[in-house]
Amino acid sequence: MCSGKAELIMAQGYLKEPCDLTFDNKVERLTDLTRRNERTQVNALHVSLNFAMGENLGQGTLQQIANEYMEGLGFGRQPYLVYQHYDAGHPHLHIVSTNIRPDGDRISFHLLANKASELSRKKVEKDFGLIKAEDQRKDQKLFPSLSLEQVTYGRSETKRAITNVVNEVLRTYKFTSLPELNAVLNTFNVTADRGGKESKMFEKNGLVYWALDVKGGKIGVPIKASSIYGKPTIRTLEGRFTLNEVLRKVLRVELRDRIDKVLANSNTTAEFQVKLKDQNIDAIFRHSNDGRLYGVTFVDHHIKAVFNGSDLCKEHSANGLSQHFAQRTDPAILPQQTMVLRTDLSIRSSLVSDDGQHYDDRSAIEVLFQGERERTDTIGDTQQRKRKKKRRGHSL
């Protein structure tokens, strides 16, 4: 087994063996094709193939599975890279490719995630005798997420307690910014801190994690991100932000509908928060010094997703909620008591033993550059900002 967290086991359509490919070889083969069609906004494919616990498949079998699956998607003649990952409790592969053909034509992504992927997945399951995804979903209750507890300063070793919370939140929740991550962490008495904008830590992209007291104040000694298992640094988090933009899209409607039902039967903000809490949703309000509501974030602990209200719909934005409760004569909105390739089409295929929320996936960029990002400065902050402006892909 590879000693790292990921191993390139296959490079279809490349002129070299996987072990002989350099960082630039991998990128240039795909970007050469994307340059042949500048009009296409979504020109990269990221597939995550997850297998059932106990399915210990050899590397040769995994290569055959990747081949057959990509043939079924219509990508059999496209170049693609297959990585085997060892950073989660279940066996899984990541595949990166492009939908731009050598002649500049593109492979349509229409119905790819819902139809072609499903048909290809079922064929692979049958041909290789794999456990069916439908059967695995029935047994998901056998693989529960780690139970999270609030950090209580002085009760247990601080670093271990913070590490447990941070790693589990990063593994299971879908957030797209540091404030959104903190919206979750704060509910477990932890916060991620970059320091002030004029500080050296901020300037150097540093990050520390603090324990919080019952009033939301920092307590104890901060823990450097680089010293925590998994190294949840700013650089690591930016990769999660990119991926989660795609993965949480399918969760937006469900959360919006649940909030709508509660909002329709709430006359005050206090009532709204309490009823959402009963649905395992935290509503976090942000106020200016003069008491004006300027932001709201929703943390759904059931579907493990974080959304700003404005990202759900205008009715759930700060302005929308203010108008709603003003019409219901709410006297005040109470403050919270506590505190590169263009974007990929990301397919979470169901050879899967996943529940759509609880597995530690990586973005296509993270997969491609696993282990290499630390040795290069190819993907910098400028590119990160540009990439966020690109049109996003879709997720299964």
Average pLDDT score over the chain: 77
The more confident residue out of 367 and 200 is 200
pTM for this structure? 0.49
Q: Which of the residue ranges 80-89, 290-299, 334-343 has the most confident prediction, judged by mean pLDDT?
A: 290-299
Amino acid at 73: L
The predicted pLDDT at position 345 comes to 47
| Cα–Cα distance for residue pair 369/21, rounded to 1 Å | 12
Residue 246 has pLDDT above 70, yes or no: yes
Q: Each residue of 329-360: pLDDT tens digit?
A: 544 444 443 333 444 444 444 343 333 333 34
d(CA 396, CA 285): 31
Residue 108 pLDDT greater than 90, yes or no: no
Please, which pLDDT band fits residue 224 given cuts at 50, 70 and 90?
very high
- Give domain limits for the chain: 6-140+341-388, 158-247, 251-327
Rounded CA separation 114/198 (Å):
47
Q: Residue 297 — pLDDT band, cuts 50, 70, 90?
A: very high
Angle made by CA atoms 7, 178, 382, in degrees to the nearest 5:
70
**pLDDT at residue 368 above 70?**
no
Residue whose entry in the numeric block shows the structure tokens 């990119």: 242
pLDDT beyond 50 at 132 = yes
pLDDT of residue 141: 38
Burial of 35 (0-12, 13-18, 19+ CB in 10 A): exposed
Check pLDDT > 50 for residue 371.
no
Torsion of CA 288, 292, 293, 295, to 10 degrees: -40
The alpha-helical segments, DSSP class H, found in 248-391 are 249-264, 269-278, 309-312, 318-327, 364-368, 381-388
User: What is the percentage of the chain residues whose pLDDT exceeds 90?
Assistant: 30
pLDDT at 336 (0 to 100): 40
* pLDDT the model gives residue 243: 83
The pLDDT score that the predictor gives to residue 155 is 64
Nearest to 191 by CA among 280, 279, 277, 284: 284
pLDDT of residue 193: 94
pLDDT at residue 114, as a whole number: 65
In the predicted model, what is the mean pLDDT of residues 138-146?
A: 40
